[in-house]
Amino acid sequence: MSETFPPQPWRLRGQMYVALWQVPARRLPGWRLPPGVRPLGWRERRVVVTFWVDYRHGGTLAYRELLVALAVRDGHGPAGCAVEAWVDDDRSLAGGRELWGIPKQPAVFAFATGRHRGRTRRPGLFTGLASPVSPGGAPDGHAGPWPPAPGVPPAPPATGVPDAGPAEDTGRWAAEASSGRVGVVQRDVLRFPVRLRLGSRLVQPYGDGACAVPMRLSGTVCLARARLAAAPDGPLGYLAGRRPLAAATLHDFTATVGTADGGGPPP
């Protein structure tokens, strides 16, 4: 890849907005899973988790991301498989694909938190995603396209992006789903008084094998309510018209992604 990226592990920080979904298997795309990995679910339903993340300065990289993970199981137990992801940073896109086989694509985001249309509300997220980027490239001028990492299909060709508008209009913009947009409004409802530590892992298809991606997170957790706007023929169309089973916000989190020895992808 022409774009350089930091070596693993990545140490990141910011705000994370998570929602848990139960979706009929027939509605989901035919995502590729690593060998020996199968979806978790019951009665022909699958568990999908969406992550809207605002990675802020002070970590390895600062960027915004929407990541979709499918709950899976392998020989080591439950895990997640990142089946779709959009980012607004070239280095994150290149590193995610090359280091871990995460199928990141370029996108434009509009984030607004805490206040909306001049009114103070519970801490929350008003955001939207426009994907893919315009023909001119990513927001910082990168022309693309990005070649795929082993086992990662190439990003689709750019077809133009609508203007996200000012931050105060993000709530309305997020609610106006179209084939190139998806948005979420999420508000905290219950804050836990302690900082929690969490551990997880991704299992990604990489070449003919699998790449294990360990993750460690710490942050203040709030239960939340979330509302998603997505067009049936656009990104996250399989979630159109659905409500999440649960939602949570991880405030001021710190995270370590990957391993210090650079392990993970198969030889």
Q: Where are the beta strands (DSSP E) in the chain?
A: 10-24, 38-39, 41-42, 45-55, 63-74, 77-87, 104-106, 108-116, 119-130, 181-206, 209-230, 246-257
User: What is residue 125's predicted lDDT score, i.e. its pLDDT?
Assistant: 60
Q: How far apart are CA 173 and CA 175, in angstroms?
A: 5
Q: Are 164 and 176 in contact (CB under 8 A)?
A: no
Element (H, E) at 267: none
Low-confidence stretches of the chain (pLDDT < 70) are 1-2, 114-179, 262-267
Residue 64 sits in a domain whose CATH number is: 2.40.400
Residue 116's alpha-carbon distances to 9, 19, 169, 184, 257, in angstroms, are 36, 21, 8, 13, 32
CB atoms within 10 A of CB 123: 17
Q: What percent of the chain has pLDDT over 70?
A: 71
What residue numbers bound the domain in which 90 lies?
Answer: 10-257
Q: Looking at the domain assignment, is residue 29 inside a domain?
A: yes
Which residues, at least 6 apart from 165, have a Cβ–Cβ distance to it below 8 Å? 110, 173
Q: Looking at the domain assignment, is residue 17 inside a domain?
A: yes
User: What is residue 144's predicted lDDT score, i.e. its pLDDT?
Assistant: 33
CB atoms within 10 A of CB 54: 18
User: What is residue 174's predicted lDDT score, i.e. its pLDDT?
Assistant: 47
Q: Looking at the domain assignment, is residue 158 inside a domain?
A: yes
Q: Looking at the domain assignment, is residue 2 inside a domain?
A: no
Q: Looking at the domain assignment, is residue 217 inside a domain?
A: yes
Q: What angle do CA 95, 97, 101 make, to 5 degrees?
A: 125
Q: Looking at the domain assignment, is residue 67 inside a domain?
A: yes
Q: Looking at the domain assignment, is residue 30 inside a domain?
A: yes
Q: What is the pLDDT of residues 13-26, one digit of tens each?
A: 999 999 999 999 99
Tally of structural domains, the chain: 1
Q: Looking at the domain assignment, is residue 264 inside a domain?
A: no
Parallel, antiparallel, or unpaired: how do β-strands 104-106 and 77-87 relate?
parallel
